[in-house]
Amino acid sequence: MPATQKNLAIAVKNFDKFSQERCHSTGDQIIAEYLRAEEGQVYDSMQGRMNWNGSRGTSADTMPMWLSCLKKCIRYGGIKINTEDAREYPDFPDRVREKRYPLVRDEIRKMLQLACFVVLCF
């Protein structure tokens, strides 16, 4: 299975989990409700999904990819989404940048004390 299809399958599975956990219904039922809802309510639901994923520890790099896959499914379901609004509206969590710094002698000593040195002789 190509990577795009895998990502789409993962995004749909994640949307189904969100639907079950938050709305107690299936993803198909939610998309059917989107047909009756206003455009702003669809964006609010997308934002709720982003917040839900953030609370579960999903990477900030993963969420935009899942959202783009979900937009394809929603469009396939017959719901028109303005591309510019969909780019601007959801507030994604900030990406965590890891700060690098050189190791100090005390840190190196602690790591070496915890290391297991087993010598095998043949």
Is 102 inside a domain boundary?
Answer: no
CA–CA dist 28, 122 (Å, integer): 63
Q: What is the pLDDT of residues 70-83, one digit of tens each?
A: 777 777 777 777 66
- Kindly state whether residue 118 falls inside one of the protein's structural domains: no
**Distance, CA of 109 to CA of 114 (rounded, Å):** 9
Judge whether 42 and 81 are in contact, CB under 8 Å.
yes
Q: Is the pTM of this model over 0.85?
A: no
User: Tens digit of pLDDT for each residue in 86-109?
Assistant: 566 666 666 667 788 888 999 988
Range of the domain at 14: 3-93
| Diameter of the chain measured on Cα atoms | 74
In a domain, 34, yes or no: yes
* Structural domain includes residue 73: yes
